[in-house]
């Protein structure tokens, strides 16, 4: 094994090679001439790949290799990127440049790094390894309609959003499979509860990355939704699905904060900008009949939460949005909700206008809005004395609207934090609208295919 050298001293990050055999994809990276970082993606009970789909799968696999590399690149952020698996066209380089720059913006902010002008994937040519070939699917007519079966992959995260998608697709009798990446028992329980067929894909990060982390290298948030999207693109081609329906709402596109004049968005790879670029790339470089989209893109967090309150009762005892359940390392809550993190705060606040109070308290086990010690966490949600948390939470304005709705209700208005909002905070917000109704109306900005228009209508009417 090569000597382990701090990757922050490296000159280049290498995308070395990728391959697939017998249900296992291997993605290989390296800093300079250091040890290979080998990641493995395991596709359970993988069928034989039909010959007409092989070029498309090859394109999806190479795209996954390039996107998943973000987990390793961040350890050193060297100034040169070498792609040894084939040349990238302009569309591929644009997608990857945007993903690494914006998807690592929070990481850069927290580590006081400036990635602008540093991330540049090679265009038109690259350092080609033995047997490598140009990246497939350029504008040369090679990308075909594959005739993929009309089936939908629904990524399940354990929280409310994907369950709204599940129930809406059930209402139109769509053939769908609940899919997740990783070994979360909580997600497995939620997926089982859906009653859909299930697919659990394994992802094994290179152990060398953890060795690097113990050295104190750069570390932090990555755009994991983009990695999962690329894994599911491979899965769609391999297993035969023509749609990947994520559950990312329009609130995900809002920046967490502004830093030196540039937006920093914890949820960038859940946002509309990434969805558009990735979906277009799949259609033009992988398979012309593979649709990638979010069914919840027209809706705010509050609208999605209302739909879940109305249609998700079967999941109230198993779902959880608390991110402490999904840590790779570190303690997890003894119950499904820790009650102290930004996700617990936001989901409690967003559900409160739409669920009977006793039912909500039963789900969480306590009344988070009647606990004065929780004030700083809720203040961050409404950007009062602090910026929005680096978490997948809704916009500050919709959190304020939820507070205002509760302040008008007898059963909530005297709880400590609701009373504080009504008496101290709301008067300082000036003429800003606190109405909740505008947040419940869908937007026309989305990429939902026409064949799923009935699903959007089902969510709207839920």
| Phi–psi pair at 231, nearest 5 degrees | -60, -40
For the chain, residues with pLDDT lower than 50 are: 1, 125-141, 326-334
Burial group, residue 370, by CB count within 10 angstroms (0-12, 13-18, 19+): middle
Q: 158 by DSSP, 3-state: which?
A: coil
Q: What stretches of 60-206 adopt beta strand conformation (E)?
A: 80-83, 152-155, 176-181, 197-204
Q: Quick one: pLDDT at residue 431?
A: 66
On whether the CB atoms of residues 249 and 296 are closer than 8 A, the answer is yes
On whether the CB atoms of residues 74 and 225 are closer than 8 A, the answer is no
291 - beta bridge partners? 243
What is the H or E stretch that residue 292 is in? strand 291-294
| Phi–psi pair at 256, nearest 5 degrees | -75, -40
On whether the CB atoms of residues 285 and 333 are closer than 8 A, the answer is no
DSSP H helices in 29-104: 54-68, 70-73, 90-103
pLDDT tens digits along 234-243: 999 999 999 9
Question: In the numeric block, which tokens belong to residue 417?
Answer: 């934090």
Q: Quick one: pLDDT at residue 392?
A: 82
What is the H or E stretch that residue 25 is in? strand 24-31
How many other C-beta atoms can be found within 10 angstroms of the C-beta atom of residue 358?
A: 8
What is the distance between the alpha carbons of residues 417 and 376, in angstroms, rounded to a whole number? 10
Predicted structure pTM score: 0.92
pLDDT tens digits along 154-170: 999 989 999 999 999 99
Q: Which of 13, 26, 139 is nearest to 83 (CA)?
A: 13
β-pairing verdict for 262-264 and 197-204? unpaired
Q: Quick one: pLDDT at residue 142?
A: 65
What is the H or E stretch that residue 360 is in? helix 357-364
Question: In the numeric block, which tokens belong to residue 315?
Answer: 């999941």
Question: In the numeric block, which tokens belong to residue 329?
Answer: 């390392």
Q: Cα 375 to chain center, whole Å?
A: 28
Q: Which of 437, 445, 103 is nearest to 296 (CA)?
A: 445
The long-range contacts involving 392-397, CB below 8 angstroms and separated by at least 24 positions, are 392/252, 392/266, 392/267, 392/270, 392/321, 392/323, 392/343, 393/301, 393/342, 393/343, 393/345, 393/346, 394/249, 394/251, 394/300, 394/301, 394/302, 394/346, 394/350, 395/251, 395/254, 395/300, 395/301, 397/432
Q: Which of 311, 337, 315, 303 is nearest to 440 (CA)?
A: 303
């Amino acid at each position: 094994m090569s000597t382990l050298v701090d990757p922050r001293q490296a000159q280049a990050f290498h995308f070395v090679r990728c391959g697939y055999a017998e249900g296992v994809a291997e993605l290989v990276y390296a800093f300079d001439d250091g040890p290979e970082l080998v990641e493995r993606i395991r596709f359970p009970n993988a069928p034989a790949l039909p010959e007409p789909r092989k070029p498309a799968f090859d394109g999806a696999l190479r795209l996954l290799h390039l996107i998943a590399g973000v987990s390793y690149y961040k350890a050193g952020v060297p100034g040169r990127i070498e792609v040894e698996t084939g040349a990238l066209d302009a569309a591929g380089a644009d997608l990857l440049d945007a993903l690494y720059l914006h998807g690592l913006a929070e990481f850069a902010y927290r580590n006081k790094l400036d990635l602008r002008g540093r991330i540049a994937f090679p265009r038109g040519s690259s350092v080609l390894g033995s047997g490598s070939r140009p990246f497939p699917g350029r504008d040369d007519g090679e990308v075909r309609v594959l005739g993929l079966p009309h089936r939908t992959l629904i990524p399940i995260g354990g929280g409310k959003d994907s369950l709204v998608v599940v129930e809406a697709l059930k209402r139109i009798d769509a053939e769908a499979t609940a899919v997740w990446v990783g070994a979360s028992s909580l997600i497995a329980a939620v997926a089982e509860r859906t009653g859909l067929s299930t697919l659990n894909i394994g992802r094994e990060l290179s152990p060398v990355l953890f060795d690097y982390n113990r050295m104190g290298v750069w570390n932090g948030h990555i755009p994991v939704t983009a990695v999962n999207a690329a894994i599911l693109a491979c899965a769609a081609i391999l297993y035969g699905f023509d749609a990947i329906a994520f559950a990312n709402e329009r609130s995900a596109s809002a920046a967490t904060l502004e830093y030196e004049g540039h937006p920093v968005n914890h949820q960038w790879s859940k946002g509309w900008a990434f969805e558009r670029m990735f979906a277009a790339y799949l259609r033009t470089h992988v398979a012309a009949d593979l649709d990638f989209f979010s069914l919840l893109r027209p809706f705010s967090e509050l609208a999605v939460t209302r739909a879940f309150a109305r249609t998700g009762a079967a999941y109230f005892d198993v779902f959880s949005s608390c991110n402490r359940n999904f840590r790779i390392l570190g303690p997890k809550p003894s119950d499904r909700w820790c009650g102290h993190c930004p996700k617990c705060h936001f989901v409690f606040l967003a559900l409160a206008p739409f669920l009977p109070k006793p039912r909500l308290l039963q789900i969480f086990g306590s009344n988070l809005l009647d606990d004065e010690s929780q004030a700083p966490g809720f203040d961050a949600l409404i950007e009062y004395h602090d910026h929005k948390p680096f978490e997948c939470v809704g916009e500050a304005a919709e959190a304020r609207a939820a507070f205002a709705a509760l302040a008008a209700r007898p059963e909530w208005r005297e709880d400590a934090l609701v009373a504080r909002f009504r008496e101290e905070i709301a008067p300082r917000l000036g003429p800003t609208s606190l109405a909740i109704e505008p947040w419940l109306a869908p937007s026309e900005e989305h990429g939902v295919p026409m064949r799923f228009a009935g699903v959007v209508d089902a969510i709207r009417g839920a």
